[in-house]
A and B are shown apart, each in its own frame.
Chain A
Amino acid sequence: MSTTTDTRGSSRSDAPEKGGRMARLGSVGGDWLDQRVGGARLVRFFARKIFPDHWSFMFGEVALYSFVILLISGVFLTMFFVPSMDEVVYDGVYEPLQGAHMSKAYESTLHLSFEVSGGLLMRQIHHWAALVFMVAIFVHMFRVFFTGAFRKPRELNWLVGFGLMMLGMVAGFSGYSLPDDVLSGNGLRIAEGLMLAMPLVGPYLSFFLFGGEFPGHYIIPRLFTVHILLIPAAILGLIGIHLAMLVAHKHTQYPGPGRTDKNVVGYPLFPVYTAKAGGFFFLVFGIIALVSATTSINAVWIYGPYDPSPVSAGSQPDWYMLFTDGGLRLIPGWESTIFGYVFSWNILIPMAFYGAFLAFLALYPFLEAWVTGDDREHHVLDLPYNVPVRTGLGVAWISIYLILCLGATNDLLAIALKLSINDLTWLYRISFFVVPVLVFFVTKRLCLAIQRHKRDLALHGVETSKVVRMADGEMLEIHEPLSDYDRWVLVSADQFRPLKAGKGVSGLRAKASSFFFKDYIEPVTPADLRKALEHGSHEQHKIDELIGAGTGDHATN
């Protein structure tokens, strides 16, 4: 930068030749690649693919990038971690455990945390990235849900994404168990207890998984293979399908002027999105590294090596498994013996509920498509308030999820809030049934209220807060009409109405469509707008007369 004009001049005169050399090199290399992998066709196909810009579209990428960070940090950890349950006597640097008996898995975890430079950092990066991976999947999933991005043609990709979420949970749980500490060991014991409760097959399942009695000598090496091979491979495969379908479908976009179901408006993959999305990987990595440098996670040396006798107060799984623990805490102690055989309803009912709860989410796109009978391709997203029942159902689902999570943390909350754990448990038991219903109706009403407000906005424009009192005492507020561009978002939503049973519509479907669409706000029609504009211009005329007549002091704020 601080070179003299002379050299700058000379370098400038060099430039074409340099560029020429580079270009020649590029063309030779490019030709070589094109002849072998059809590079030119790939570039033509991909480089100018268009991605729309919106912050809420970035969470899928956060998930993808956290996964890449998990792979990088995970590879580092495997260099030092020993997946073995053989017993050793600890002689590392952590004094309070010197001489204690522990598994090699636990010992190697301590070793890589305390004696490998950057080791604890990598462990923390790995664990924080796992939490962020699941957070990002959830945020992404609910962005997709509330904007209706799962509609045709993306139903299958929704299922793939759902599969990724489930695999993420398995990946997390299997990894959480590997250090073989007291906390994760008790988590495994709970998993064993759940398996035992399965009618007929429970004890066999447990013995096969653990290679005999709990805890045995097999579970850590087995989970290790699951954690570093099976699940990551499956996740990678599904990510491949997920992204391939994304390319085939092209990205969705929010409604806006110029955006239709037949186009996609945004920036090209090369160069803008290469820089933005590529750069975003480094941003996500930087944030996770910053958090990992400053914030402790899963301090296994405090829990101690696994031994079936101890347990710590406040034993919970990582957040994405919390909801499964919630049901187990809230269910009363129901169990029955039929013909001498035990049915543990206190476990089977929560498990069955989780199955149905997750299945609802997985199958929702098909349910909604059946209700609407809408067979068009959708690439322009819904704004959540324009689909009150879907939004209400989604928020109700989240409320159940949250209540289960709160239930699973009732012991910590009891202390934080100075309440009785028993009262809290009862509160959540009742909330589990009451809150989702309330939340559904409140959300639906809220959506309708927003629609009403948007309708007024579309018709009358923005209130300017300037009020004029007319000679006859009438008060008029000056409205600024919207531009065609601003109005478009407010008037372009699809409208659905309940179907009547008969003529190819089953009674059930008619009921369902009534549930979805019986409450609605009349949309703005061109005729409505014309009338409103005429009325507006009439008022404007009156105002102009007043203000134009030099009586500006009538205008107040």
Chain B
Amino acid sequence: MKALSQHRHHPMAYLVILLLALVATGGVYAAFQPRAAQAEGASQEDIAAGEQLFLANCATCHGTNGQGQTDADGNTLGPSLIGVGAAAVDFQVGTGRMPMQNSGPQAQRKMPQMNEEQTAQLAAYVASLGPGPSIPTADAVDPAQGDPVEGGEIYRINCAMCHNAAGAGGALTHGKFAPPLTGVEPKHIYEAMETGPQNMPVFNDSNISAEQKRDVIAYLDALEENGSPGGLSLGSLGPVTEGLYAWTIILALLMGTAVWLGAKAK
């Protein structure tokens, strides 16, 4: 919220509002469109519609042909999207990270600005720029078909150091962070491993196979399903929040009791 209010009077704010308005109009328009080729593979119309969306929402940073752009100082505005595949688009746009609202150490998860159909169209367009990982099928990310025991082992070795053992997230250098994994859709978890968004390394199938990715998803699902048998989890952040709880809530209870004990009765 703070970040948003800081940028309210920035000239970019008008641009963002304009973009939001465009997206909203697009959304309304799309809602009244006959839903034709949605489930099937990408059609030419999808790619064409995706290109329009791309030019309106993405080209400023990623270039009109998705080739990437740098500013005058040579800093990357947006990386090249050739070969990142549909999976990367589905992750970035589907979790609301793209289009980016304001520049910061890394793109934040937020309410998606595109609906599912627009996301699919954008993905189809970017996939047409060069071969890359595609969006996983429903089976490939079905937690019921994965093995949470295997997944747990893989998760602890490859993921927990950044995302925390309970998937609560963790800090990286200079304001970057590994986001929490709770409440993230299985396909987005799969796509993130596959494509390595932001500073996350790539865990493609030659490192963690497709089946193993599903195991990881099954493990995260099991963590959420099991809940917290001990009661309030305090964010699953470990001893620090537990200590803070002891110094605030418990100490207040003890102090209240002691004050009552020491006070003279009326």
Contacts and interface: CB of A to CB of B under 8 A. Distances in A.
Interface string A405-421: 00001111011001111
Interface residues of B, number: 62
B261 A55 contact: yes
A128 B243 CA distance: 9
A412 B240 contact: yes
A287 B166 contact: no
Contact of A314 (B173, B233, B240): B240
A contact face: mostly helix, strand, loop, or mixed: helix
Nearest to B178: A313
B175 interface: yes
A421 B174 contact: yes
B162 interface: yes
A412 B230 contact: no
Given A287-B253, A291-B249, A411-B170, A58 B242 contact: no
B50 interface: no
Interface string B129-155: 000000000000000000011011100
A120 B234 CA distance: 17
A419 B165 contact: no
Given A100-B152, A183-B165, A302 B236 contact: yes
B258 interface: yes
A310 B232 contact: no
Interface stretch (B89-97, B187-195, B221-229): B221-229
A24 interface: no
B173 to A, nearest CB: 6
A296 B169 CA distance: 19
B262 A58 contact: yes
B225 to A, nearest CB: 9
A314 B170 contact: yes
Given A304-B152, A322-B240, A414 B165 contact: no
B246 A131 contact: yes
A280 B172 CA distance: 46
B238 A58 contact: no
Interface string A117-161: 000100010001001100110010000000000000000000000
A310 B161 contact: yes
A77 interface: no
Interface in A265-279: 276, 279
B18 interface: no
B contact face: mostly helix, strand, loop, or mixed: helix
Contacts, number: 203
A302 B165 contact: yes
B251 A139 contact: yes
Interface stretch (A91-99, A223-231, A235-243, A483-491): A91-99
B70 to A, nearest CB: 24
A298 interface: yes
A291 B177 CA distance: 32
Given A55-B261, A96-B219, A96-B222, A319 B153 contact: no
B239 interface: yes
Contacts of B264: 53
Contacts of B177: 414-415
Interface of B: 2-3, 105, 148-149, 151-153, 156-157, 160-166, 168-175, 177-178, 219, 222-223, 226, 228-234, 236-240, 242-247, 249-251, 253-255, 257-259, 261-264
Given A299-B166, A319-B239, 13 more contacts: A62-B254, A96-B226, A100-B152, A113-B229, A135-B247, A291-B249, A296-B229, A302-B223, A318-B242, A319-B244, A411-B170, A415-B171, A418-B2
11 contacts: A55-B263, A58-B258, A132-B254, A283-B261, A290-B253, A295-B234, A312-B164, A313-B162, A319-B244, A322-B243, A415-B177
